[in-house]
């Protein structure tokens, strides 16, 4: 079931996996991968609103994030072509990171009240460089880590990714009260130096012998390889599993803030209780998931973490019946986002395992774009469902919706399958 299996001949102790340079590399790559995204979704909206740009216009800025959804369209280029420096992965990484440093810094040159079009173009360029960096970093991480390192390495990566939000979402906003925005954006952009230094220091791990020889091979062969590996039916089952595994919690959290408001919680309670609970729990879930996967195979982690993320949705069912209960809000949100964090680690590790090292960039970009579809579906449909049946029945449905993804585990990740490194 796995592509290019890299299972070690004998099981390794957890210390051998945890205490190696690969995990440090994952931390730095996660930080540099996440930081530009939070510039777009946290810093830029605050900057625009501070210059009295209307909310409708700020909302439209979300459209410039389309490269994150369509990054698979140019990912074959990054599998096929190698820049004339640092190797196939490191060269593209350095190129995108320098581009991000310069384009983030360039935002500070504009005044939102008179240069909105230039800001739109610059933000789109940041989005394009950031999505491209994600392509190559995801590919590098998969080629760097052995199968028994994927869970822990993914945990380090994802948590560093989330913690990078503190730069644009906290430090930059604090600095903006004391410094000109031009300086704030240069300070923020300077943190891309972490990625640049990492790309210069780490070793190249891609095998040029596996690289596609033509652009046609880079575009077509990833699909051919994936569906011929274990047959079309298995390939479709894997895609269906990726689509369904987190659909339940995507739906449950899509309109979480309006749900809290409708339960009678004030904005202060939401900000101080719900948001704080979600942040610590999703990070804790990522850390616990990575530690647990030192002992668990990816398959078993998908089972255990899947049950956790499914049953924690029931906390919302309970909260919808009791209404305003601050302690209950903290417990329910903590449980739900603990499950979200656990499930995300297991699914990301599984996606990495299912890529072929000949087409890592393209297949991983396709998988990550594909699993974004349920989030879009959840955001678009949940409001209509809630208005039709109410919150309690809706959260019950969310729990039931999680079941098909769990059932597909029998096919794509059986409990005793692929556990040679356990």
The residues, any chain, with a CB within 8 Å of residue 229's CB and separated by 6 or more, are: 3, 235, 356
- pLDDT higher than 80, residue 257: no
Give residue-wise pLDDT tens across range 338-357: 988 888 888 988 988 888 87
- Please, are residues 11 and 422 in contact by the beta-carbon 8 Å criterion? yes
At residue 19, the pLDDT reads 62
Cα radius of gyration (the chain): 22
The distance from CA 224 to its chain's CA centroid, rounded to whole angstroms, is 26
Which tokens in the block code for residue 241? 């599993």
At residue 184, the pLDDT reads 92
Higher-confidence position of 42 and 241: 241
Higher-confidence position of 422 and 151: 151
Higher-confidence position of 419 and 233: 233
Region 323-346: what's the mean pLDDT?
A: 90
- In this prediction, what percent of the chain has a pLDDT beyond 90? 34
At residue 80, the pLDDT reads 83
At 420, the pLDDT band (50, 70, 90 cuts) reads: very low
Q: What is the DSSP letter of 299?
A: H
Cα separation, 44 vs 126, whole angstroms:
11
Predicted model pTM: 0.76
- Helical packing angle, 193-201 and 21-38, nearest 10°: 150
Cα separation, 145 vs 33, whole angstroms:
17
At residue 421, the pLDDT reads 34
At 9, the pLDDT band (50, 70, 90 cuts) reads: very low
- Please, are residues 18 and 294 in contact by the beta-carbon 8 Å criterion? yes
Burial class of 89 by CB neighbour count within 10 A (0 to 12, 13 to 18, 19+): buried
The SS3 call for residue 53 is coil
At 146, the pLDDT band (50, 70, 90 cuts) reads: confident
How far lies 380's CA from each of 40, 313, 314, 377, 392, in Å? 22, 19, 22, 5, 19
417-419-422 Cα angle (round to 5):
155
Which tokens in the block code for residue 325? 């209960």
Domains of the chain plus CATH, in order, are 14-211 (1.20.1250.20), 216-412 (1.20.1250.20)
Give residue-wise pLDDT tens across range 83-140: 988 888 899 999 999 999 999 999 989 988 888 889 989 999 999 999 999 999 988 9
Region 357-374: what's the mean pLDDT?
A: 82
């Amino acid at each position: 079931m796995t592509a290019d299996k890299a299972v070690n001949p004998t099981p390794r102790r957890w210390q051998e996996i945890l205490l190696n340079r690969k995990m440090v590399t994952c931390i730095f790559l996660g930080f540099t991968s996440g930081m530009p995204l939070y510039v777009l979704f946290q810093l830029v909206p605050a900057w625009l609103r501070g210059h009295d740009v209307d909310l409708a216009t700020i909302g439209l800025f979300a459209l410039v994030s389309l490269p994150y959804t369509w990054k698979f369209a140019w990912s074959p280029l990054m599998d096929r072509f190698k820049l004339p420096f640092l190797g196939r992965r490191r060269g593209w990484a350095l190129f995108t990171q320098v581009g991000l440093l310069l384009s983030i810094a360039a935002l500070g040159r504009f005044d939102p009240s008179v240069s909105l079009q230039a800001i739109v173009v610059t933000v789109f360029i940041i989005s394009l460089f950031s999505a491209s960096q994600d392509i190559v970093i995801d590919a590098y991480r998969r080629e760097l880590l052995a199968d028994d390192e994927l869970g822990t390495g993914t945990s380090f990566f994802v948590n560093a990714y989330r913690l990078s939000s503190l730069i644009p979402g906290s430090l930059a906003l604090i600095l903006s009260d004391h410094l000109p925005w031009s300086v704030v954006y240069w300070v923020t952009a300077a943190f891309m130096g972490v990625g640049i230094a990492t790309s210069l220091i780490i070793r190249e791990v891609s095998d040029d012998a596996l690289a596609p020889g033509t652009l046609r091979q880079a575009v077509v062969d990833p699909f051919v390889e994936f569906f011929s590996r274990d047959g079309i039916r298995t390939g479709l089952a894997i895609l269906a599993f990726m689509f369904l595994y987190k659909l339940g919690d995507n739906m449950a959290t899509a309109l979480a803030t309006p749900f809290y408001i409708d339960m009678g919680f004030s904005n202060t309670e939401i900000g101080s209780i719900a948001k704080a609970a979600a942040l610590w729990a999703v990070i804790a879930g990522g850390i616990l998931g990575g530690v647990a996967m030192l002992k668990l195979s990816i398959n078993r982690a998908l089972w255990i973490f899947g049950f956790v993320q499914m049953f924690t949705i029931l906390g919302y069912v309970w909260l919808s019946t009791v209404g305003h209960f601050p302690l209950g809000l903290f417990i329910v949100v903590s449980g739900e986002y603990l499950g979200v964090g656990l499930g995300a680690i297991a699914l990301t590790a599984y996606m990495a395992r299912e890529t072929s090292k000949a087409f890592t960039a393209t297949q991983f970009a396709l998988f990550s774009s594909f699993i974004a579809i349920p989030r879009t579906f959840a955001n678009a449909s949940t409001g209509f469902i809630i208005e039709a049946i109410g919150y309690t029945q809706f959260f019950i449905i969310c729990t039931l919706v999680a079941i098909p993804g769990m059932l597909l585990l029998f096919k794509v990740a059986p409990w005793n399958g692929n556990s040679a490194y356990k």
